[in-house]
Amino acid sequence: MQQMSSAQSALLADVKALEPIALPLLDSQGCVLARDVVAPADVPAFATAECAGFAIRANDHEPGEVLRVVDDVPAGFRASEALIPGTCIAVTRGAPVPDEADTVVALASSRSVDGGVILDGTSPGSGVIRAGALITAGAPLARAGQLLDAELIGILARAGIRSVEVHPRPRVLVVTVGTEYVEPGVPTPTGLVADHLSFLAAALVTEAGGTAFRIPPVLDDLAEVEAVVDDNAYRSDLIVLCGIDARDTEVVAAPLGLEVTAVGDHQVMVHGNREGAVILGFADDPATLQAQAREILPAVLNRLKGQQEQ
């Protein structure tokens, strides 16, 4: 829509990314990084076995030699016996490689005999994941503006990172303006209708990545609307007013300092800022409201979240 695009451009010019906050990793999912993230340490922090098998020092081993197994090391533990010529240490996948060892021979390349095991020949250094082989200390892991999804959270956790600085999810107050609206489930005498608009708008906010807080409808009265907006502006990043029709532009929108854009026959959208919160006013027709919200909400919320525009 030409008119919507014009309104969107005018509105976005005044929308800034929210101030960064530090959040635990799982709480940050769906947020956008505000700072670059680098690895604080090597991963793994020590040499680990790439497979279950037997740790040896390759130069001390001859093919066909019977080696005595002097220790059995599971993941999470370290060897308690020293590795000397003629011996090997059993390890599980992910276990620390004993200090004297430089190679791990896989179980499939071994066979048990009386007194120990015989290992097939193997290349020195094989079967071992060296310290820092997966992630090197100081390496960049993520860039500012990057969306934190499940994969990235897993990478950051593996690097030992517990929290990150992000632009928080926008807090969005949703309220319907209209004397004829009442809460769903309340008896509706002739002339009154259930407030379906704010439920639709709140669901669209959630769909677009915001955190919606809905309150009961307010009357078509400047003082009522102004009180709701000003009382909630300090704890909201965006306020969505539903049910705005052409009549409300003079009664509500203009006195609040909001811009008005005509959208279709007898429908309008209002937009602006008040007390630090972005204000959007959507039409009183559900289909028009949905079209307006789907076009402009993602752009506004992404800008608030600090998400880089494509």
Across all residues in the chain, what is the average pLDDT?
89
| Amino acid (one-letter) located at 145 | G
Report the alpha-carbon distance of residue 297 to residue 280 in Å, rounded: 9
Residues 276 and 189 in one domain: yes
CB 185 within 8 A of CB 158: no
Residues 181 and 296 in one domain: yes
Q: Has residue 136 been placed in a domain?
A: no
Residues 106 and 235 in one domain: no
Does the pLDDT of residue 23 top 50, yes or no?
A: yes
Question: Which pLDDT belongs to residue 263?
Answer: 63
Q: Has residue 310 been placed in a domain?
A: no
What is the token pair recorded at 293?
């919200």
Residues 159 and 173 in one domain: no
What is the token pair recorded at 152?
């990235």
**Mean per-residue pLDDT for 39-45?**
94
Question: Which pLDDT belongs to residue 186?
Answer: 79
Residues 258 and 232 in one domain: yes
pTM: 0.74
**Mean per-residue pLDDT for 194-208?**
95
CB atoms within 10 A of CB 26: 12
Residues 65 and 183 in one domain: no
Does the pLDDT of residue 3 top 70, yes or no?
A: no
* Residue 2: band (very low, low, confident or very high) from pLDDT cuts 50, 70, 90: very low
**Mean per-residue pLDDT for 18-22?**
95
* Residue 238: band (very low, low, confident or very high) from pLDDT cuts 50, 70, 90: very high
**Mean per-residue pLDDT for 253-267?**
74
Helices (H) and strands (E) in the chain, counts: 6, 21
Question: Which pLDDT belongs to residue 1?
Answer: 45
Count of structural domains within the chain: 3
Q: Has residue 232 been placed in a domain?
A: yes
* Residue 260: band (very low, low, confident or very high) from pLDDT cuts 50, 70, 90: confident
Question: Which pLDDT belongs to residue 8?
Answer: 66
Does the pLDDT of residue 6 top 70, yes or no?
A: no
Residues 56 and 34 in one domain: no
Q: For position 175, which CATH number holds?
A: 3.40.980.10
CB 86 within 8 A of CB 65: yes
Question: Which pLDDT belongs to residue 42?
Answer: 94
Residues 218 and 297 in one domain: yes
Question: Which pLDDT belongs to residue 64?
Answer: 83
Report the alpha-carbon distance of residue 195 to residue 87 in Å, rounded: 78
Terminus-to-terminus CA distance in the chain, angstroms? 20
Residues 179 and 241 in one domain: yes
Q: What is the pLDDT of residues 143-198, one digit of tens each?
A: 999 999 999 999 999 999 999 999 999 999 999 998 889 998 877 777 788 999 99
Does the pLDDT of residue 273 top 90, yes or no?
A: no
Does the pLDDT of residue 267 top 70, yes or no?
A: no
Question: Which structural domain, as residue segments, surrounds residue 155?
Answer: 20-42+142-167
H helix intervals, the chain: 2-12, 150-158, 197-207, 222-232, 248, 286-305
Residue the block writes with tokens 């037997």:
54
Q: What is the pLDDT of residues 50-97, one digit of tens each?
A: 999 999 999 888 878 999 999 999 999 999 999 999 999 999 999 999
Higher pLDDT pick, 284 / 200:
200
Residue the block writes with tokens 């499939």:
108
What is the token pair recorded at 162?
């517990």
Contacts of 270 (CB under 8 A, 6+ apart): 241, 244, 248, 249, 253, 258, 259, 260, 261, 279, 280, 281
Q: For position 111, which CATH number holds?
A: 2.170.190.11
Nearest CA among 226, 229, 266 for reference residue 244: 266
> Percent of the chain at pLDDT above 70?
93
Nearest CA among 120, 107, 99 for reference residue 50: 107
